[in-house]
Amino acid sequence: MDFLKSLTIAASGLKAQSGRMRIIAENIANADSAPTSPTAEPYRRKIPTFGQHFDREVGATLVETGRVRRDSTPFKAKYDPGNPAADAKGEVRMPNVNALIENMDMREAQRSYEANLNMVTATRRMISRTLEILK
């Protein structure tokens, strides 16, 4: 495999995982945000998807961030009658974000990012050694 192809594949993985971490961070930031009124919909969890495309210039299949889907699981209900967003029963609809799942997804995205970064580092080392041999 040539060095440019290796770097391009790893760079596409870095970009995809970076986008995934951004979406997960947004979910975590909005996990406890309540709507402003009883009829307003709370934040709905976002789910990143991935796609692939063949890059003819490089001659490799690259990963890319696809469409961001909305999680259709039901919202959580929290009893808080003093909240302006509470309904007649005193319940407030809260976002359908589970912080534990988001943290595990973030850990997985970080590991994938690190693997791609290690691939870039290894390729750079191989390029340096090749240049040293050619001297």
Q: What is the pLDDT of residues 74-124, one digit of tens each?
A: 999 999 999 999 999 999 999 999 999 999 999 999 999 999 999 999 999
| For residue 2, pLDDT beyond 80 | yes
pLDDT score at 89: 92
Q: Tell me the pLDDT tens digit for each residue of 9-31.
A: 999 999 999 999 999 999 999 99
pLDDT in tens, 34-57: 898 888 999 999 999 999 999 999
Q: In 7-21, which positions are buried (b, 16+ CB within 10 angstroms) versus exposed (e)?
A: bbbbebbbbbbebbb
Confidence at 1, pLDDT banded by 50, 70, 90: low
**What is the pTM assigned to this prediction?**
0.87
Confidence of residue 135 (pLDDT cuts 50, 70, 90): confident
How far from 67 is each of 18, 47, 48, CA to CA, in Å?
15, 9, 7
Q: Cα-Cα-Cα-Cα dihedral of 17, 21, 27, 32, to 10°?
A: 160
Residue 79 CA from chain centroid, whole number: 31
- Residue 28 pLDDT: 97
